[in-house]
Structure 1
């Protein structure tokens, strides 16, 4: 069975066109998802019941045939396996029942054993791989140590991250212990996902963009690198993607973490990002998800512009963040269709 387009592109092989998928492609913009959510209102049930997670993961593939199928889960899913309980409430987001703010709480944490605490993840990834075969790549994902720490210290989403930053600047030793714990556990989780069927993996450090460059170098980058280094020790050929929201100020720093591909948000021009990154680093994303509220012609024009600017790079076409709730489904389809046909429109230019 030949390797998928997305996997070949992620490895840096020559491909006929950039592969295309959408972050959060399974979710609230799809009617089939909303109907299922109405029947199963608990997010944790939807993501931790293997039948439901598999069904949701497959919904966008069955509707639009993207080049990647990503596990339906959450970056916080591994937390209970470490002894940290959480919930995700509709319109409120993640809630941590007992935020970690003391050394005694840290000392009570367990190292993650994914096969023991997350068997449903392995089951879903295996089923996805078996179902899609060589029609699409199966993607796994995790949250990066800084972002996980931000959630478990703050106890919820935050606008200014004052609590975790207070820990960073007043109790750095405690925060470093927590970050190191997460790095080791998340590396184990990524290895488990790859062993279970994930062919490409993405690490989301969603809130690392809230750090100044000097603090990124201290509290985010070393632990991103530790995760990647540990994974590459055992799975050197699995492509790893890193995404940070608001990353324009730290792109060069991201390139030193050992990742294969950097997923760009939309606050930096694709051509400028490519000029700032080493040639061996691939690029993904960059299309403003708000564009999908526009017309199909606008979507197609932006796809063409992005592909032109990424010419000569290892490139995966994607949005610069997750697809937004309320996005018309037909516009999600238009984005994927524009990506699949982009070389027909640009062939004379390449």
Structure 2
């Protein structure tokens, strides 16, 4: 399907789109999860002037942050600056980004009756600022690279809404699966429906790829994944395709998801991201030849000397091969990552 906005500049670098579709590329495409974030000194300076969610909710500010790494590095994609927790916000929950702590939801869901507090009417209308940021960013990218839109996957969002923030066990959230299975499905449906509308809005606004972050997959058993989580992920991909967006590549990243990698291949995504714990040869054997893989350098490896980063990156490239592969880290870049190391990583990917 063609862009809804026909006046976007012509795309000059479509490597990542080709790789996602399994087409030949002149160089392996590379981008970095959380590339427009805390490791950049220009972002740190920007944050001193603006609240985190102020940036997310102000299109011109989100656009500026999105463009920062594109100005600095020869990346093959931009990803819109936002946060996965804008969905709980749009559902009526308060989300605070606390320095050194991360996201905090002061009034998490404790009992199934708390679902009645959620505002499920026309959720996407309260997220239009993300669409506006995408449209503005597509224009200001001037066709340099494609723009990725994203959302958190329903289980990941559910766990934040119940835990009230990060957790080492996700025990409160998983408890719902065992104690309140039907209410869990109800909550997941609320989140899934909102996420579908949200991602479709992003595509209509100009997003050229979509990534779904199942960041808390590692806390699940295969049974819980198959029973509660996989259906939501499949519903998202099916709904996007059914609305006519058949040419928009869909990326699924399940952190800690090796245990369900085979199941992920059945969910309708063009690209599967893998974290740094997964052997690329094993991943390729599991997913087969018709799905693109994305990943998976350990983010901490960016602290190695440049020659070692080059060696590790080339080894990674050789393991994945040149076909159906998008280079990335195995999770989001850490705040203390050296900026020069990112350049070394990108150079190593692009250079034969």
TM-score category (smaller protein): over 0.9
1:126 aligns with 2:135: yes
1:180 aligns with 2:180: no
Aligned Cα root-mean-square deviation (Å)? 1.5
Write the distance in 2 (CA, Å) between the matches of 1:92 and 1:224.
29
Larger RCO (CA within 8 A; separation ≥ 6): 2
> Which residue is 2:107 aligned to?
98
Write the distance in 2 (CA, Å) between the matches of 1:10 and 1:300.
24
Write the distance in 2 (CA, Å) between the matches of 1:12 and 1:128.
26
2:321 aligns to what SS in structure 1?
Answer: coil
Deviations 1:114-163 (A, max 9, x none): 65212221111112211223321100110000000000011111111111
> Which residue is 1:348 aligned to?
none
Deviation, 1:287, is 0.8
Deviations 1:266-304 (A, max 9, x none): 001111111111221110011111110011111111221
Deviation, 1:14, is 1.4
Structure 1: gaps of 5 or more residues = 344-350
Deviation, 1:78, is 2.3
> Which residue is 1:65 aligned to?
74
The alignment of Structure 1 onto Structure 2 pairs a total of residues equal to: 341
Deviates more, 1:97-106 or 1:267-276: 97-106
1:324 aligned to which of 334, 337, 343 = 334
2:349 aligned to which of 335, 339, 343 = 339
> Which residue is 2:221 aligned to?
212
2:223 aligns to what SS in structure 1?
Answer: helix
> Which residue is 2:295 aligned to?
285
> Which residue is 1:80 aligned to?
89
**Shift in CA distance, 259/117, structure 1 to aligned 2, threshold 3 Å:** same
User: After the TM superposition, which parts of structure 1 deviate over 4 Å for at least 4 consecutive aligned residues?
Assistant: none
> Which residue is 1:249 aligned to?
259
Q: TM-score, normalised by structure 1?
A: 0.94
Tell whether the 8 Å contact from 1:114 to 1:192 is kept in structure 2 after alignment.
no
Tell whether the 8 Å contact from 2:67 to 2:141 is kept in structure 1 after alignment.
no
Write the distance in 2 (CA, Å) between the matches of 1:114 and 1:175.
19
For 1:295-306, what aligned pairs fall within 5 Å after superposition? 295-306=305-316
Q: TM-score, normalised by structure 2?
A: 0.93
Tell whether the 8 Å contact from 2:149 to 2:202 is kept in structure 1 after alignment.
yes
Write the distance in 2 (CA, Å) between the matches of 1:114 and 1:170.
28
1:201 aligns with 2:210: yes
> Which residue is 1:7 aligned to?
17
For 1:263-278, what aligned pairs fall within 5 Å after superposition? 263-278=273-288
